[in-house]
Chain A
Amino acid sequence: MAQNKFLNPLTPGVSYKQFLGSIPQGKTIKTHLKGKLKDAQIEWIAEEVKNYKKNNN
Chain B
Amino acid sequence: MAIVFSGTKLPQSEIAEIQKEIYADWGTFRDSDIGIEEGHKSGAEVYESKVSVNMAAYSSGAISAGADTLTVGRTPVTLTKVQFADVIDNNVLLDTRFEKSMAAGAFNIVSTEFDNAVLQDITPAIGTTMEDVTWDGATTAQKALIAGLTPGAAQGSISAGAQTLAAAMPTNLVNSIPATILHNASQSKDTPGAGLGDYKKVLTIATITSTTIAAEYAKLYAVVDPKLIADQQNQPVIFAPLAHRQLMRIANNSVGAASNQNFLFESEANDAKCYYNGIEVKFKPLVGFMIASPPKYLKVLMDLASDMSVLETGAMPAGAEQMWYKNVQAFATWCTNQRYIVLYGG
Contacts and interface: CB of A to CB of B under 8 A. Distances in A.
Given A47-B161, A48-B160, A49-B160, A9 B206 contact: no
Contacts of A44: 153, 203-206
Contact of B151 (A12, A38, A47, A52): A52
Interface in A1-39: 9-17, 19, 38
A19 B218 CA distance: 28
A13 B156 CA distance: 7
Given A16-B151, A44-B204, A51 B161 contact: yes
B28 interface: no
A55 B163 CA distance: 7
Per DSSP, chain B at the interface is loop
Contact of A14 (B147, B152, B204, B205): B152
A45 B157 CA distance: 13
B164 A55 contact: yes
Contacts of A43: 204, 206
Given A40-B206, A41-B204, A44-B206, A14 B164 contact: no
B165 to A, nearest CB: 9
B216 to A, nearest CB: 11
Contacts of A45: 153
Determine the main DSSP class of A at the interface with B.
Answer: helix
Nearest to B156: A12
Q: Identify which of B150, B152, B153, B157 gathers the most chain A CB atoms within 10 Å of its CB.
A: B153
A36 to B, nearest CB: 13
Contacts of A19: 152-153
A15 B150 contact: yes
B153 to A, nearest CB: 4
Contacts of B206: 40, 43-44
B164 A51 contact: yes
A55 B160 contact: yes
Given A48-B160, A48-B161, A52-B160, A12 B205 contact: no
A32 B3 CA distance: 85
Interface of A: 9-17, 19, 38, 40-41, 43-45, 47-49, 51-52, 54-55
Given A17-B150, A45-B153, 13 more contacts: A10-B203, A14-B153, A15-B150, A15-B152, A15-B157, A16-B151, A16-B153, A19-B152, A38-B204, A40-B206, A44-B206, A48-B153, A51-B161
Interface of B: 147, 150-157, 159-161, 163-164, 167, 203-206
30 contacts: A9-B154, A10-B154, A12-B154, A12-B155, A12-B156, A12-B157, A13-B154, A13-B157, A14-B153, A15-B150, A15-B157, A16-B152, A16-B153, A16-B160, A38-B204, A41-B203, A43-B204, A44-B153, A44-B205, A45-B153, A48-B159, A51-B160, A51-B161, A51-B163, A52-B160, A52-B163, A55-B151, A55-B160, A55-B164, A55-B167
